[in-house]
Amino acid sequence: MKKEELKKANKGITLIALVITIIVLLILAGVSIATLTGDNGILTKAQTAKEKNDAAEKEETQKLLQAEANMNLEETEYNGVTIPAGMAPTRKEGESTVAEGLVAVDKNGNEWVWVEVPKSEMPADLTFANETGYSEADQTNCDSITAALKAYAAPYTEGKKEQACNWTDEWYLDIGTSDNHNVVTEETATEERQKELDTGCGLTLNEYKETYQKMIKSVYKNGGFWIGRYEAGIEGTTGTDEESLKLGRTGSSARIDIATSPKAISQKDAIPYNYVYCSEAQKLAKEMTPDSSKTSSLLFGIQWDLVCKYLEVKSDLNEPDINTDSQKWGNYYNVEIPITSSNAKSAYLYYNNSDEKYYFSNEWTKMTETTKQAVDSNKENCILLSTGASEKTKILNIYDLAGNELEWTLEHATETTYGPCNSRGGYFGGDSSTYPASYRDGSSTTNAHNYYSFRPSLY
């Protein structure tokens, strides 16, 4: 073979080898990428392992806090706030001061946020014949404190700006139907009628008066009160397994029985405790106290107003964000909500074109990445979220006070067309400007819907 031909042959072999080498490298690269990525890839498994490890660390921290709370048999002081027995401050960064939104965990794992009410805004040097329960001798002082609190929270005591719903905290019972209301008040109450708690606010007249006075005295003494960090959730629903998802309530769910129904919790990633009457919500909230010397209940109207004022004073929200349009921080149908919790769950309100009606899907599902992206990019979705699903809804460590669910209170609505029960805030299917955080809404005592839940207070 000639020298030139040999060179050509060698050159040809080199090119073929190079091509084969490149192909082999590409195949190896493809195999490597597939090994690293994909549902069973190394990176995916590593991310899953990290998430599980983070979740385990959070669970361990929560258990330690609960253990500490369980050992706290007496009230303690922390950063100027009285921590009730059976509770412990989280001491986490961003959760340790009133200015940040002080968070405490109780022995049951429920989380609470301290709502400051400046003592300078209340009458000075008042003394009480009875420090906790009801006393006729203390009524004048309590009326004086209430008047001062209303003046302090004035922008929100009428509900939404210019809503003119200046309703009051007073006991009521409704023994009528949805079309024919017969509201029983203190003047017309009898012992027999007071037993019909399923059609009222969930308290007898004497219980209501004692609870309200205890709340006012506690606010005066301590300079504030505790509020559930989250909307009330259903016990056993913080996970994403099938059993947890099945515990979500539906329109046909049985009525609440304290002895047999799941407990209410104030914890992240829980399915909201909805489809409850106002009276049922009160019974559930009453059971959430971690200490027998403290009372837990639905918020009274003045407490909701004070929460609104607290957010205005301490956070970067301004008054219009709270009582004109709350799209900046609430889950509404016309607002984008970035989902930040890896255990977020959702249910949907959807429109049926065939009969031109809206329907609610009672099936709760875990939010996948695909679902999250759909929620983030589609403002028209009406999506009910699990508690704490988005950091956007957190202001001073309180989640979902605007949007997501309307929340029952113990305030008496004077809107007799619909009934005496008063809910506050907005909901996932409503407009952010129609239902800002301060919004008031009167409703029937036997109204239970997917957009009615509640939030506990503690004092």
Provide the β-strand partners of residue 345: 366
**Tell me, what's the pLDDT at 39?**
64
Can you give the three-state secondary structure of the chain, one letter per residue? Answer: CCHHHHHHHHHHHHHHHHHHHHHHHHHHHHHHHHHHCCCCCHHHHHHHHHHHHHHHHHHHHHHHHHHHHHHCCCCEEECCEEECCCEEECCCCCCCCCCCCCEEEECCCCEEEEEECCHHHCCCCCCCCCCCCCCHHHHHHHHHHHHHHHHHCHHHCCCCCCCCCCCECCCCEECCCCCCCCEECHHHCCHHHHCCHHHECCCCHHHHHHHHHHHHHHHHHHCEEEEECCCCEECCCCCCCHHHHHCCCCCCCCCCCCCCCCCEECCCCCCECCCCCHHHHHHHHHCCCCCCCCCEEECCHHHHHHHHHHHHHHCCCCHHHHHCCCCCCCECCCCCCCCCCCCCEEEEEEEECCCCEEEEEEEEEECCHHHHHHHHHCCCCEEEECCCCCHHHEECCEECCCECCEEEEEEECCCCCCCCEEEECCCCCCCCCCCCCCCEEEECCCCCCCCEEECEEEC
Mean pLDDT along residues 426-446: 94
**Tell me, what's the pLDDT at 349?**
76
Exposed/middle/buried for residue 4 (C-beta within 10 Å: 0-12, 13-18, 19+): exposed
In whole numbers, what is the pLDDT of the chain averaged over residues?
Answer: 88
pLDDT reading at 6 higher than 50: no
Mean pLDDT along residues 234-249: 95
**Tell me, what's the pLDDT at 417?**
61
pLDDT reading at 255 higher than 80: yes
Mean pLDDT along residues 78-88: 96
Query: Which carries the bigger pLDDT value, residue 355 or residue 366?
Result: 366
Provide the β-strand partners of residue 384: 347
Sign, CA torsion 319/421/288/284: negative
Of 159-163, 204-208, 215-219, 412-416, the one with minimum mean pLDDT is 412-416
Q: Over the stretch 15-38, which tens digit does the pLDDT of each residue have? A: 787 878 888 888 887 777 767 666
pLDDT reading at 434 higher than 60: yes
Buried residues in 227-265 as b, exposed as e (16+ CB within 10 A): bbbbbbbbbebbebeeebbebbbeeeeeebeeeebbbbb
Q: Over the stretch 139-194, which tens digit does the pLDDT of each residue have? A: 999 999 999 999 999 999 999 999 999 999 999 888 765 556 677 878 777 777 77
CB under 8 Å to 303, separation ≥6 — which residues?
A: 115, 215, 225, 227, 409, 457
Query: Which carries the bigger pLDDT value, residue 146 or residue 131?
Result: 146
Q: How many CB atoms are closer than 10 A to CB 103?
A: 22
- pLDDT band of residue 351 (cuts 50, 70, 90) is low
